[in-house]
Amino acid sequence: MKPISERPLFTRDFEDPSRFQPTAGSSYLYGVTSEPRSEFALSLLRRSSGVRFVEIRDGDAAAFETNFPGFERVPTRRRAPLQDFVASLGSGTIYLDITGLGHATWAPLVRICLEAGQPFRVIYLEPDTYNESPTPDAGQIFDLSERIDGIAPIPLFASLNDRAEEDICFVPLLGFEGVRLSHMLNEVQPLAKKIYPIIGVPGFRPHYPLDAYLGNATPLEKYKAARNLRFARSNCPFSLFYTLEDIRDRHPSQQLKVGLIGTKPHALGAILFAIAHGDEVEIVYDNVKRKVGRTAGTARCLVYGVSDFLPRPRRAAA
């Protein structure tokens, strides 16, 4: 396994987010939620010229809404509407700010933007802090989610490749909520020896990796999964991608089922891995309902050179 220090990461890190500026002639796609960090795009809009800003609002599981004329509602379960939307943005660089968008909205856009073959960057604003639970316990240190709506495919990432359990490795990307890991384990029912949890190290803050471990300690101990624990930088999709590659190389004939529980940068890395490896990967997502005001403040702005890292991929079947 090659050390992460010897692998390219394609990330620009702005400790002062105000220093980031999109290029003229580009398009900047974003969403705004109750989290203050998602409003970064609004401040960017006020100080940028020659950039098309398109606000996206998460809709139902099958569409999103925008303020872009002609694309007020864009279905996400078919390629054609998404391709038309992306084509309408022109040939300039596309910036997709995933900070305020749900997985079911930004993940299919990542696939279509990559397939379009033009310069493509993903933006993520780290939170300053997560809100702590008023009644913390081993499985819920932070107050982040209202409910789990259940396992369902992310648009354009449904898998029809049904493997026997002995041909599957389950790779949960751990966050702070052990109840979500327990739910996924109950749904996927993987073999205990083929569970490879990944924790973000280093975390956004020094104590977050320990918080993630403690938050998931009960299901990890139940399945004795800590023996297969792996690590990837919490704010780096490329570090996560390489970690998934290492697991795949260890089990070359297996399908990886990757559970999206942790950070959005990790989720982005998993989506890129699924795009690159097709039926070898299945994305597992529990469609969690986020709590209002779950984070406070904004730390750094991260700009991921996604189209530099993963050149135009082969188009998968619709």
Mean pLDDT within 15-21 = 95
Query: 221: which residues sit within 8 A by CB, 6+ positions away?
Result: none
pLDDT value of residue 143: 46
Is the pLDDT score of 82 beyond 70?
yes
Taking the mean position of all CA atoms in its chain, how far away is CA 282?
A: 14
- Percent of the chain with pLDDT strictly greater than 90: 71
Report d(CA 214, CA 44) in Å as an integer: 37
Mean pLDDT within 203-226 = 90
**Which structural domains are found in the chain, ordered by start?**
4-129+296-307 (no CATH), 132-290 (3.40.50)
pLDDT value of residue 34: 86
Residue pLDDT, tens place only, 118-162: 999 999 999 888 666 555 555 554 445 666 788 889 999 998 777
* Nearest of 153, 50, 65, 156 to residue 113 by alpha carbon: 156
* Top mean-pLDDT range of 174-183, 209-218, 229-238: 229-238
Strands 255-260 and 281-284: parallel
Q: Where are the alpha helices (DSSP H) in the chain?
A: 40-46, 79-87, 103-116, 178-188, 208-215, 217-222, 237-250, 264-277, 306-309
pLDDT value of residue 312: 75
Report d(CA 286, CA 273) in Å as an integer: 19
